[in-house]
Chains A and B, each alone.
Chain A
Amino acid sequence: DQQVKQNSPSLSVQEGRISILNCDYTNSMFDYFLWYKKYPAEGPTFLISISSIKDKNEDGRFTVFLNKSAKHLSLHIVPSQPGDSAVYFCAASASLYGGSQGNLIFGKGTKLSVKP
C-alpha cells in the first residue's frame, strides 16, 4: 500500500514555462514533506521542504504548495530550465519520539523533461 503517490511517471515542459509536479499521500500522521531531485548515476539531492503547519514554501524558482485537507502537495518550477530535467521524488515523514528524525517515505518519482 503506497502511502506517497506520484501518479505521473513523466512530464514534458517547454523551457521558460511552468512545471507542476504533483504528489498525494494517504497517511494523516505525515507532518513534513520534502522534494528531492535525482540525476542518473547520482544520489537524490534535497530541493525544498514544507512543514504541515504551512501551506506554501518558496525558494527561488521552486515553490511547494501543501493542501492538507486534500492530502496533496505540488512542486512548481518557474521558469523551467533544461538543467531541471531529472527525476523528482516526493517524500513524507512523521515525527518520531517527539522529535524531527524519522525515515522518509518516497513516491516512485516523476521524470521531468524540459525541452529547449
Chain B
Amino acid sequence: DSGVTQTPKHLITATGQRVTLRCSPRSGDLSVYWYQQSLDQGLQFLIQYYNGEERAKGNILERFSAQQFPDLHSELNLSSLELGDSALYFCASSVASSYEQFFGPGTRLTVL
C-alpha cells in the first residue's frame, strides 16, 4: 500500500459526459501528479500540483482540468468525454525534495 488513495476504482460513462476523479496523497506529500495510461502506452504525464498551485503541465487536453485543494487532495475533471479517453488514470505524490513518486491504485475509466 503506497498510501495514495484514488476513487472511484472503476467508472463507466457515456460519450459527452463529465467525470471527476479524486486523489488523496500520502500524508505529508505536497506534490500531486496525474498520469494517463492508455492501451499499449506507457504512463503519460498530464499535470502536477504543488501545495495547491499548478507546477507543470504535460500533454493534457483542454477538456481536462485539475485542482489541488487546501487539504492537498486533488481532483481531475474530464469533460466532453470521447471513446479515446478510456484509460487508466493514476495519481502519484511525492515529498518536496524527492524524485520518487508513489502511485495510487488508479481509476479505470471506460467511455461507451
Contact = CB atoms under 8 A, between A and B. Distances in A.
Interface of A: 4, 32, 34, 36, 41-46, 49, 89, 93, 96, 99-109
B43 A44 contact: yes
A42 B31 CA distance: 21
B45 A45 contact: no
Given A43-B2, A43-B105, A100-B99, A89 B42 contact: yes
A93 B98 CA distance: 11
Given A45-B103, A103-B33, 10 more contacts: A44-B103, A46-B102, A96-B55, A96-B56, A101-B31, A104-B33, A104-B43, A104-B101, A106-B45, A108-B40
Contacts of A41: 105
A108 B42 contact: yes
A95 to B, nearest CB: 9
A43 B90 contact: yes
16 contacts: A42-B106, A43-B4, A43-B106, A44-B43, A49-B100, A100-B97, A100-B98, A100-B99, A101-B94, A103-B33, A103-B56, A103-B58, A104-B43, A106-B42, A107-B42, A109-B42
Contacts of B103: 36, 43-45
